[in-house]
Amino acid sequence: MTDIEFDVLDELYFVQPFAYLVDELDMDELELKNALAALIAKGWVKCFINMQEEELPHQVKLEEKYKEYFYLATKAGLMAHNGR
């Protein structure tokens, strides 16, 4: 796990919008988008359409909708984060 991935996961114990993550992590959008893509690929983060409705993994369109999604660490992601 990279330092950036660790920092992103640290903010995802609760569902958070992309704009919140940009502000809190002081990252540029591309860097954050790439980190989220890597975390999603590892199964450590999942996407939500809104604060309560999860986007099905096969329907995630990160390239197109990354700013619209909300994000949350998965159980596996939290375990990886806490085990570091």
Q: Output the average pLDDT for the chain.
A: 94
Q: Which domains does the chain have, with CATH numbers?
A: 3-82 (1.10.10.10)
* pLDDT recorded at residue 40: 95
- Residue range 15-44, pLDDT digits in tens: 999 999 999 998 899 999 999 999 999 999
Residues 6 or more apart whose Cβ sits within 8 Å of residue 71? 12, 15, 16, 17, 18, 21, 36, 45, 46, 47, 48
Average pLDDT over residues 48-73: 94
